[in-house]
Amino acid sequence: MADALQETFERESAFPITDDPIGDLRTQMAAAAMVMRSPAGAMIRELLADAQTDSETLDMFRKRFFERRREQARQAIERGVASGALRADLDSATVIDLLYAPIWLRLLTGHGSLTEPAIDRIIDTALAGIAAFSAD
């Protein structure tokens, strides 16, 4: 199951790298949410449920799903800081949690939508706190 999920995530929610790091984050978040709306999302919930009582499954999940994607998001955030689009004082790990935690919460609890407009609202709200603003 983990192999199938990893392949689906790699294929369906690859992290773009363009000259627009904020757009890259938005695109990847929307793609990740789309995967989580699919049957793969149900498999992820099952895997995470098992991981709560199986440390090997949890470790595998972190290594195969979280680490690579967090690194890609960190790079996009750093590109955003370097370009001046994001604040220079950001802690990328905290920003990643801020952006992606609502997606995971919605997947695991079903309390909110994972539609593209919902993901756009999440990113827009987060950007209000992390975007660099010029003092004109």
Q: Read off the pLDDT of residues 80-128 as tens digits, 9 standing for 90 and up.
A: 999 998 999 999 999 999 999 999 999 999 889 998 899 889 888 988 8
Total residue length of the chain: 136
**DSSP structural state of residue 77:** H
Contacts of 81 (CB under 8 A, 6+ apart): 87, 88, 90, 132
Rounded mean pLDDT, 27-54: 90
pLDDT at 26 > cutoff 70: yes
First to last CA, the chain: 53
Q: Note the maximum CA span of the chain.
A: 54
pLDDT at 136: 45
pLDDT at 135: 46
Q: What is the pLDDT of residues 58-85, one digit of tens each?
A: 999 898 888 888 999 999 999 999 999 8
- Which spans in the chain are helix H? 2-12, 21-37, 39-51, 55-61, 67-83, 92-109, 116-130
